[in-house]
A and B are shown apart, each in its own frame.
Chain A
Amino acid sequence: MSLNVNHIDKSFDLTRALKQVDFEVKDGELFGLIGPDGAGKSTLFRIMVSLLIPDSGSCTMNGYDVVSQYRDVRKIIGYMPGRFSLYMDLSVEENLAFYARVFGTTVKANYDLIKDVYQQIEPFKKRLAGRLSGGMKQKLALSCALIHRPDVLILDEPTTGVDAVSRREFWDMLKKIQGEGITIVVSTPYMDEAEMCDRVALIQKGTILDITNPLEMGDDDVPLFALRSDRGVYTHLDKIRKLEECRSAWLFGDELHVTLRSHIDASAVVSTIECWNDPSIRWTSITPSVEDRFMGLIQEEK
Chain B
Amino acid sequence: MKRFFGFVKKEFQHIFRDVRTLVILFGLPVVMIILFGYVVTNEIKDVDVGIWDKSRDQVSTEAIQKILSSGYFVLAETIDHEEEIESLFKSGKAKVVVVFEDSFEKRLLRENRAAIKLITDASDANSAMLVQTYLQGVLANYFKSVNQAGTIPWEVEIKSRMFYNEEMTGVYMFVPGLMALILMLISALMTSVTITREKEFGTMELLLASPLRPREIILGKVTPYVLLSFINAMTIILLGFLVFDVPVVGSLWLLMLECMLYITLALSLGVLISTVSKTQQMAMVFSMLGLMLPTILLSGFIFPIDNMPGILQWFSTIMPARWFIVVVKNIMLKGTGFAFIWKETLILLGMTLLFILAAVKRFNIRLE
Contacts and interface: CB of A to CB of B under 8 A. Distances in A.
Give the residue among B3, B205, B209, B365 with the most A Cβ atoms within 10 A. Answer: B209
Q: How large is the interface on A (under 10, 10 to 19, 20 to 34, 35 or more residues)?
A: 20 to 34
Nearest to A53: B366
B116 to A, nearest CB: 64
Given A90-B10, A98-B10, A104-B3, A81 B366 contact: no
A190 interface: no
Contacts of A81: 202, 205-206
Interface of B is mostly: helix
A46 B208 CA distance: 11
Interface in A39-98: 46, 49-53, 70-71, 74-75, 77, 79, 81, 83-90, 94, 97-98
Interface in A127-158: 144
Given A85-B201, A90-B13, A52 B368 contact: yes
Contacts of A74: 209-211
Contact of B211 (A84, A85, A86, A104): A104
Given A71-B211, A102-B211, A85 B18 contact: no
Contacts of B212: 102
B14 A102 contact: no
A75 B211 contact: yes
A88 B13 contact: no
A51 B367 contact: yes
Contacts of A79: 206, 209
Nearest to B210: A102
Contacts of B104: none
A252 interface: no
B161 to A, nearest CB: 58
Contacts of A77: 209
A103 B367 contact: no
Given A46-B367, A49-B209, A74-B210, A94 B13 contact: yes
B365 A70 contact: yes
B367 A101 contact: no
Contacts of B18: 89
Contacts of A51: 205, 208-209, 366-367
A86 B210 CA distance: 13
B201 A88 contact: yes
Contacts of B2: 101, 104
Interface of A: 46, 49-53, 70-71, 74-75, 77, 79, 81, 83-90, 94, 97-99, 101-104, 144
Given A52-B368, A89-B13, A99-B210, 16 more contacts: A50-B366, A51-B367, A79-B209, A83-B205, A84-B202, A85-B201, A88-B201, A89-B17, A90-B10, A94-B10, A94-B13, A98-B9, A99-B206, A102-B3, A102-B7, A102-B207
Interface of B: 2-3, 5-7, 9-10, 13-14, 17-18, 201-203, 205-212, 365-368
Q: Which 6 A-B pairs have the closest CB atoms?
A: A101-B6, A85-B202, A51-B367, A83-B202, A79-B209, A49-B209
